[in-house]
Chain A
Amino acid sequence: MMQGSANDTKERRIMTPTLRIENLQVTYALAGGTLAAVRDVTLAVASRECLGIVGESGSGKTQIFMAAMGLLAKNAQASGSVRFDGREILGLAPKILNRIRGSELTMIFQDPMSSLTPHLKIGVQLAEVLVSHRDLSWGAARRAALQVLERVRVPEPQRRLQQYPHELSGGMRQRVMIGMSLLCAPKLVIADEPTSALDVTVQAQIVDLLRALRLELEMAIVLISHDLGVVAGLADRIVVMYAGRVVENARASELLRRARHPYTALLLKCVPNMADARLDRMPCVPGQAPSPAVSERGCAFAPRCPRATEYCKAERPPLRDVHDSAQVACHYPLFP
């Protein structure tokens, strides 16, 4: 499954990654030139692992998985390798990819309203997945749909099957979306900002639900968010993205306690919390994320970094191994 390369050592402990992405590049051809959305990203998701991907808007965190799912826009180009369950899936024809995505590999999005079809009842939308992917009869599919709504703790599931998306609250719709992603017992669910459109109270419930489902169903989860706090509650491992690159990759427990990259440390301070809200000013990362059109020179984070020196502006720090399960791309990390 894994070809012997120097890169393998750091992932040796993960014998059979469910998803393995290597040297992924995603570029967009625009009228004004080429735009690099993802730059040389390598990462792996072990079976049953929850991988958190954290970064700001435009950092490329979603693009990685849109590329993996074959959902990039027409003017985008992806290169590198994406292996799902040992099989190369990058650039597969949609027809072949459709056998995998939606069943073994599923994705849930930020806005559950626009991900559901507005004029079809919930029950029909759920059952249709099983009819098309699993060749179930409509009757059997409806029974499975009911079960999946119970699984995602939707109250009164029988009644919900008969309702339209607009009749449900945002949190309830997201539960339905999660249920839909589980219908075919996927090996990996990619959750892209699943809580960002929801109220904080409901966010906590969705995170709780994902946590419980992961244990019950023994599946792997990729959880993408701009909020390290959301990811912290669930992830085994966290990858921090900045300007299309991985800047830190470590076990969650380690990264949350000892963030090595100054960007990670700032993101941690930005997690809305009550502990230090007595301060009048609210913590933030100052400045702007760079435009993906700008060609790289030095560390992309240097203009916003409190630790940056002239060296950082001239020389881009490579992503290097700190130990066998942690990587950081910084000349002056906060911890060795």
Chain B
Amino acid sequence: MSAVLLEVRNLCVDFGALAALKDVSLDVKAGETLGLVGESGSGKSTLARAILRLIPAARGTVMWCGLDLLSCDAGIMRRQRRDLQIIFQDPLASLNPRMTVGETLAEPLKIFEPSLAKSERRARIDDMLERVGLTRSMAPRYPHEFSGGQCQRIGIARAMMLRPKLLICDEPVSSLDVSIQGQIVNLLLDLQREFGTAMLFISHNLAVVRHLSHRVLVIYMGKVVEVAARDALFADPIHPYTRALLAAVADPTRSLAGTFIASGEAMVVGEGLPAGDHRAPGCIYRNRCAYAEPACARSAPELEQAAPEHAVACHRWRALVYS
């Protein structure tokens, strides 16, 4: 777990006048899982899409094994997809309803390994189906015949067919029953152990991210507010927003007695709140923040190293680590 596979620097994405991502930087190392946590509208899916060039970036670089994905030729970009795969939130919608499971899984092989004999292709598909907890008898069936959890397994199988170096998982379990979410998380853990695939795992739920991340990055309104090794982030969160997110998922069954602490709803992109505007000075979180001071309205905090492998963007972090 050493070489950096993906290196994102100062990535900015604008939707018209609105800054969806502002100066996002992150690294994903070979074989590791970076958890990316944020609420709806925070820009986490935008980040995934911008990395894969599914939407254009305004500024910044995305270095992938030494290649700048944002400026390279479209043909070169296409070739990278062999090693750079994605799975989506809605497992049924991301499968072609007119293709059998077998055809869906054959496609990446036909594109990237066209010389493969038909029988060999068939063997690879059967092997992968079993690897993701399905059976080879399911190959001739269509997506609508499967449950949500099974469809997500098919999506994972398709993404893993070429043994990619990096798998981007965009909320892969949030549309599933909680009873099934664990099955998918555990499958991803097993696949990573077996194939050494690195993952960028996007979710709004810290409790899910914790199970499979080596490091966690918290994003709020398009900005990185905290990034740390998993245990440090969960044991000693610094940013007030990270703390609020953690409080929201603190054992929900305990809420019989207590109530949740969440400091107001996230600003949604397009709601036009002046204090949430990236172009206004000051910290974007200050109007939800219990610790905000006048200084927080004057300038935006930069990411600072608060501890080894633990960076936070908050003017008041020194006061907070001792509180």
Contacts and interface: CB of A to CB of B under 8 A. Distances in A.
A229 B177 CA distance: 12
A285 B181 contact: no
A277 B265 contact: no
Contact of A202 (B183, B185, B255, B265): B265
B177 A200 contact: no
Contacts of B271: 167, 169
Interface residues of B, number: 46
Interface string B273-294: 0000000000000000000000
Interface stretch (B6-14, B55-63, B74-82, B145-153): B145-153
A323 interface: no
Contacts of A199: 39-40, 204, 266
Q: Chain A interface: which size bin? A: 35 or more
Nearest to A266: B179
Contacts of A268: 253
B256 A200 contact: no
B245 A201 contact: yes
A57 B148 contact: yes
A288 B208 contact: no
B244 A201 contact: yes
Contacts of A283: 182
B234 interface: yes
A284 interface: yes
Nearest to B207: A272
A29 B217 CA distance: 49
Interface string B166-206: 00000000000111111101100100000000000000111
A56 interface: yes
Interface in B96-153: 147-150
A204 interface: yes
A281 B189 contact: yes
B180 A56 contact: yes
Given A201-B262, A282-B208, A282-B211, A274 B246 contact: yes
B183 A286 contact: yes
Interface string A83-97: 000000000000000
- Point out which of B147, B179, B208 has the most chain A C-beta atoms below 10 A from its C-beta: B179
Contacts of A232: 252-253, 255-256
Nearest to B39: A199
Contacts of A202: 39-40, 262, 265-266
A142 interface: no
B205 A272 contact: yes
Contacts of A267: 178-179
Contact of A274 (B178, B207, B260): B207
Given A267-B179, A281-B186, A283-B182, A273 B252 contact: yes
Given A169-B41, A282-B182, A285-B180, A208 B259 contact: yes
Nearest to A273: B251
Interface in B224-276: 234, 244-246, 248-253, 255-256, 259-260, 262, 265-268, 270-271
B260 A208 contact: yes
B-side interface mostly: helix
A201 B256 contact: no
Contacts of A233: 252-253, 255-256
B249 A282 contact: no
Contacts of B260: 204-205, 207-208
Interface in A212-250: 226-230, 232-233
Contacts of B316: none
Contact of A204 (B149, B211, B262, B270): B262
Contact of A172 (B211, B244, B265): B265
Given A226-B179, A256-B256, A271-B178, A169 B40 contact: yes
B210 interface: yes
A207 B245 CA distance: 16
A205 B253 contact: no
A310 B171 CA distance: 39
A204 B189 CA distance: 28
Nearest to A232: B253
A230 B252 contact: yes
Contact of B253 (A170, A256, A284): A256
Contact of A272 (B39, B249, B259, B262): B249
Interface string A259-297: 000000011101111110111111111101100000000
Contacts of B211: 277, 279-282
Of B39, B41, B148, B252, most A-chain CB atoms within 10 Å:
B252
A288 B248 contact: no
B181 A284 contact: yes
A271 B245 contact: no
A199 B270 CA distance: 18
A252 interface: yes
Nearest to A59: B177
A284 B186 contact: yes
Contact of B186 (A58, A200, A271, A282): A282
Contacts of A170: 40, 268
Given A252-B256, A274-B234, A284-B186, 18 more contacts: A56-B179, A58-B147, A198-B40, A199-B39, A199-B204, A201-B248, A201-B266, A202-B40, A227-B178, A228-B178, A232-B253, A233-B252, A270-B181, A270-B182, A271-B178, A277-B207, A281-B182, A282-B185
8 contacts: A56-B177, A56-B179, A171-B265, A232-B253, A267-B179, A274-B250, A282-B185, A284-B186
Interface of A: 56-58, 167-172, 198-205, 207-208, 211, 226-230, 232-233, 252-253, 256, 266-268, 270-275, 277-286, 288-289
Report, nearest first, the 8 A-B pairs whose CB atoms are least far apart: A284-B182, A229-B252, A204-B260, A272-B207, A282-B182, A233-B255, A169-B268, A285-B179
